[in-house]
Amino acid sequence: DGLSLPWLPQLVCPDCRRFIKHHKEILADIGNAVEAHGWSAAESRDLVARHCAVIEHLDVVGHYTRAVWTLTPSEIDELARACAKFGEAWRASYPHRKEMTVKGHIVEVHVPETARKFGTCGVFGEDGLEALHPHDTLVRRLVRQMRNPEARHAAHTLHLEGKRSTPE
């Protein structure tokens, strides 16, 4: 149907979180759109139900994997249940797929292991590093006119280091 879960991990962080948070409304709109293009009401409902069954668990997973505090045992259990339910729902919703995606496997198997081992997942996330992209883009604009690649790289590195070590 072209709307299977593999397109979901290609959304970027804020958009992905927003989609997961509002997936029911968004998927209902998609269901209405495909129905308007000739799908039956039953096909539309099936599409929405299959995707909602998978995505609803990712809301819990996303909340606890981004938490930078030490999770309580009950929070870890809730996270592990959501990860397991995600895997079950994925297999039930997409039986035509032979293998789960790599990211899906990580969610199902390795996220609960990491949370149990370290008491958190959030401190291992990429959010902090992703926050550097605007700084990097700004610095690239500052040095882009430099023709010498070594000098451009050195200036880029110095600007980033200065940004990192200078308070706002």
Compute the distance between CA of residue 53 and CA of residue 43 in angstroms, rounded to an integer: 15
Q: Please report which confidence band the pLDDT of residue 81 belongs to, taking 50, 70 and 90 as the band edges.
A: very high
Average pLDDT of the segment spanning 79-86: 95
Average pLDDT value over all residues in the chain:
84
pTM: 0.65
Tokens standing for residue 146 = 């430099």
* Arithmetic mean of pLDDT, 25-47: 89
Amino acid at 105: H
Please give the Cα distance from 119 to 61 (Å, whole number). 14
DSSP state for residue 5 in the 8-state scheme: G
The amino acid occupying position 19 is F
pLDDT one-digit tens code per residue, 103-154: 889 999 999 999 999 998 887 766 666 667 777 888 888 888 989 989 999 9
Which pLDDT score is estimated for 129? Answer: 63
Residues 106 and 119: their CA atoms lie apart, in Å, by 17
